[in-house]
A and B are shown apart, each in its own frame.
Chain A
């Protein structure tokens, strides 16, 4: 999703920076991005000693100072992190809530996990999301997809939801929405 979004923005001549919060993810995603030819700054350095808020705020400020012609900052937090904890950092950097385009990528293979173990994170994520992308349509049955849609609808009726298989291209509808 992140790579496809970068490709889409790049094709539109937009300059973007990416922040990946790799909690427990030492050297995997950043190495992959480097090998794909992207410039990667190890701002987080694998450190989880700083609070999410302070680290994220410092990272965004560093990017804004160092790269003044940025059009977008794409931020992919760890799937274990509650997005609610990240909003204060972004807003302290001068972003208004309406400028934060929060997309929740809903992996329907995790329906049970979200229902039973990570319900708070799921609730907060849906409540903050501008839209939801239900991914991995090829890996689950219709029942799981319907369950995923129902879970979103229960919390935020009417929230824009896209169904995609991100192994393929971003669907046209979502492309236009972005």
Chain B
């Protein structure tokens, strides 16, 4: 019922470094980026965070999951797996916030990444174009094709 009010935006972000860094350092750096991103979102009282989630994929089984569900800016993170040193790490960020455009959200994330790069010059960050996004006006299946879930009966 609130889906129309909250805009889902997905970013695929690649963090890399010239030297292999321990997981805890990556965890902290990604947390810093998310913290700055949430801070900028919360500047306007009009914006409400439905959730901001991120999954840092270490390998097939290991990950760090981040979650923020309020403007109080508490970001929880959970690490699952074995400690190791990594040159790079891929992070999917899913942001569901009201009263924000996709472009604004992207600008906030870019600024947050830039701030981290200034602070730690050994780290590079690349924001890839959005992953597949839910869209109220398009189907994940081809236009004209039946929905594979309900075989088109909802139309």
Contacts and interface: CB of A to CB of B under 8 A. Distances in A.
Given A31-B57, A113-B48, A25 B94 contact: yes
A51 B92 CA distance: 26
Contacts of B135: 48-49
A81 B135 CA distance: 16
A83 to B, nearest CB: 10
Interface of B: 1-3, 6-8, 10, 48, 50-51, 53-55, 57, 60-63, 65, 69-70, 72, 74, 80, 92, 94, 96, 131-136, 138-141, 147-150, 153-154
B149 A58 contact: yes
B6 A80 contact: yes
Interface in A69-88: 78-82, 85
B72 A48 contact: no
Taking residues whose C-beta sits less than 8 angstroms from the other chain, chain A's interface range is 35 or more
Interface in A5-63: 23-29, 31-32, 35-37, 43-51, 54-55, 57-59, 62
A54 B136 CA distance: 15
- Return the 5 tightest CB-CB contacts between A and B, nearest first: A24-B8, A24-B96, A80-B2, A47-B140, A54-B154
Contact of A109 (B74, B131, B134, B138): B74
Given A27-B92, A28-B54, A79-B51, A49 B63 contact: no
Contacts of A37: 61
Contacts of A35: 57, 60-63, 80
Majority-rule SS of A interface residues: loop
B154 A120 contact: no
A47 B134 contact: yes
Nearest to B58: A35
Contacts of B62: 35
A80 B80 CA distance: 27
Contact of A24 (B55, B69, B94, B153): B94
A139 interface: yes
A37 B139 CA distance: 29
27 contacts: A24-B8, A24-B96, A25-B51, A26-B8, A27-B55, A27-B92, A28-B54, A31-B55, A35-B62, A35-B80, A36-B80, A43-B149, A46-B134, A46-B140, A47-B140, A48-B134, A49-B139, A50-B147, A50-B149, A55-B149, A55-B154, A58-B150, A59-B149, A62-B149, A79-B69, A81-B3, A109-B70
Contact of B131 (A26, A79, A80, A120): A26
A140 to B, nearest CB: 9
Contacts of B54: 28
A41 to B, nearest CB: 11
Contacts of A31: 55, 57, 63, 92
B130 to A, nearest CB: 9
B128 to A, nearest CB: 13
A49 B50 contact: no
A110 B57 CA distance: 29
